[in-house]
Amino acid sequence: MSNIKIFKDNEANSIFIEDANGAQFVNSLQASIPNGDDKVFITDLAKQFDIVSNALHTEFVDENENPYLGTPTEICNQLNAIFSSSGTPTDQVPVITSPLAISLVQGETLNYELTANYGVGYEWDLSNVSGVTTVDGNVRKIIGGSSLATGEYAIPVKAINYNGEDSQIIELSVGTPAFANTKSVNFNNNDWCGANAGILDSTLGRSGNGSGSSDAWSISFFFKAGTATNASQTIVYFGSQDVANQGHIQIKYNGSLNRLEMRYGSNNNRLNFATAQNSIAVGQWTQVIVTYDGGTTGAASGSVSDYYSRFKFFIDGVDVTSTNVNSNNNFGYTGSIIGQNWRIGRYNNGQSLRNNCRVDELAIWDSDQSSNSSLIYNNGVPHDLINLSQAPTHWWRMGDGDQYPYLFDVGFEANCIFVMNNMTSADIVSDVP
């Protein structure tokens, strides 16, 4: 034997009935013993069918699980007294009273309850809001929505009673969450991250000896040097696996001289750049921007200075290009750079970041952003780069919003995902600029 819970819900101004088949709110009810055998029936007078039949009078309980006491006839009278006080006068139609505007930040979960004067039944049209549903056992409540994109959503809703209905549209506004930088990625020894380099051919690659602005690019990141004194610790590397003969870009940290270095070209034909000694402080966050204007980079001996001038280096918002130590192998590089590898923390076969080097907010543009370097730097405070007049083509938050082992691209194209190699989830750390 299972209990049948019956009571008046004052908020809904309706009768709540729950049995083994579920729960419902109804009105216009009558309890009776039609067969003279002490078995109780409850009839929905509006729909002319029995919602409870052949129930023992001892099965009925109130909202507190207390049994209704008395004979079968006395219990029928108690139930009918409750039934007669429910419902609404014929001149009272429902009026929705809960707010018709809901604000939500992307990623948050909705928790909203519809209320109405004289409401008995409620209907939702949730077809526009994927992932939003009513709460089991309370049709007035909706939850979900954490996967909704930013924007405006219309949710038609109705409150209904026996005298009519009130139809409204709830406007759900999903906003962009406030920018927060709480994570970076830590590198030790053989840790590295790799992504599909071919995706970046149109950003960092080129087909020949620099055709101009169409081959330009910019790279920005925050870097925290570890304690290792290795002279070649790769921060980022793009290009061919055959570094001796084919083109590539390597930006690295020299832990012996505490400076930033870059190679552009192949090992046999390249331009070399090095910032001043001690320009990178160990254990401190440094913001770095390197830009390339897309021009020629080799191979006439009389034009080497022009080749060097194609590149600019900014450390903590300061243009340090003029203090660089520049050199070359065979007067620079004239060939293509094609995306075979795109890595953080590893060259083609080594030269890894060591001893807790950390990288944060790595971004690249398919244009020369030298004139916007101060906006990107933002006084050393990480910020939402998407709000710049020219958003980065690709941008990796390095921990924020990521899910190990994946570091997601949140830039304009947002299609190049890093995979963490030889690493654990603990390498996403709470240390930021």
pLDDT digits (tens, 9 = 90+) for 203-226: 999 999 999 999 999 999 999 999
Distances 115 to 41, 159, 292 between C-alpha atoms, Å: 31, 8, 60
**270 and 166 both lie in a single domain:** no
**282 and 337 both lie in a single domain:** yes
**48 and 121 both lie in a single domain:** no
**404 and 384 both lie in a single domain:** yes
Residue 132 lies in a domain: yes
Task: Look at residues 84, 113, 148 and tell me which one is the last residue of a structural domain.
Answer: 84
Amino acid making up residue 395: W
Tokens of 152: 């405006």
**205 and 295 both lie in a single domain:** yes
Residue 90 lies in a domain: no
**162 and 204 both lie in a single domain:** no
- What stretches in the chain show pLDDT beneath 70? 1, 11-13, 46, 85-91, 162
With 0-12 CB in 10 A as exposed, 13-18 as middle and 19+ as buried, what is 197? buried
Residue 220 lies in a domain: yes
Nearest to 313 by CA among 352, 351, 272: 272
Quote the pLDDT of residue 8: 82
Domain count for the chain, please give it. Answer: 3
Residue 329 lies in a domain: yes
**3-state SS string over the chain?**
CCCEEEEEECCCCEEEEEECCEEEEECCEEEECCCCCCEEEEEECCCCEEEEEEEEHHHEECCCCCECCCCHHHHHHHHHHHHHCCCCCCCCCCEECCCCEEEEECCCCEEEECCEECCCEEEECCCCCCCEEEECCEEEEEEECCCCCCEEEEEEEEEEECCEEEEEEEEEEEECCCCCCCCEEEECCCCEEEECHHHHCCCCCECCCCCCHHHCEEEEEEEEECCCCCCCEEEEEEECCCCCCCCEEEEEEECCCCEEEEEEECCCCEEEEECCCCCCCECCEEEEEEEECCCCCECCHHHHHHHHHCEEEEECCEECHHHCEEEEECCECCCCECCCEEEECCCCCCCCCCCCEEEEEEEEECCCCHHHHHHHHHHHCCCCHHHCCCCCCEEECCCCCCECCEECECCCCCCCCEEEECCCHHHEECCCC
Quote the pLDDT of residue 89: 53
Instruction: Return the CATH number at 386.
Output: 2.60.120.200
Amino acid making up residue 154: A
pLDDT digits over 382-409, tens only? 999 999 999 999 999 999 999 999 999 9
Nearest to 113 by CA among 139, 79, 95: 139
Nearest to 366 by CA among 199, 193, 195, 184: 199
**248 within 8 A of 272, measured Cβ to Cβ:** no
Instruction: Return the CATH number at 128.
Output: 2.60.40.10
**122 and 203 both lie in a single domain:** no
Tokens of 230: 């290795």
Residue 89 lies in a domain: no
Quote the pLDDT of residue 73: 86
Task: Look at residues 52, 84, 116 and tell me which one is the last residue of a structural domain.
Answer: 84
**304 and 419 both lie in a single domain:** yes
Quote the pLDDT of residue 91: 62
Residue for token digits 């009776």?
A: 32
Q: To 5 degrees, how large is the angle CA 216–CA 214–CA 290? A: 5
**26 and 131 both lie in a single domain:** no
Q: How many CB atoms lie within 10 A of CB 327?
A: 12
**347 and 399 both lie in a single domain:** yes
Angstrom distance (rounded) from CA 351 to CA 233:
5
Residue 375 lies in a domain: yes
Residue 69 lies in a domain: yes
**106 and 240 both lie in a single domain:** no
- The domain of 131 spans 95-175
Q: How close are the terminal C-alpha atoms of the chain, in Å?
A: 66
Residue 295 lies in a domain: yes
Quote the pLDDT of residue 164: 79
pLDDT digits over 277-305, tens only? 999 999 999 999 999 999 999 989 999 99
Quote the pLDDT of residue 416: 98
Task: Look at residues 41, 64, 84 and tell me which one is the last residue of a structural domain.
Answer: 84
**61 and 152 both lie in a single domain:** no
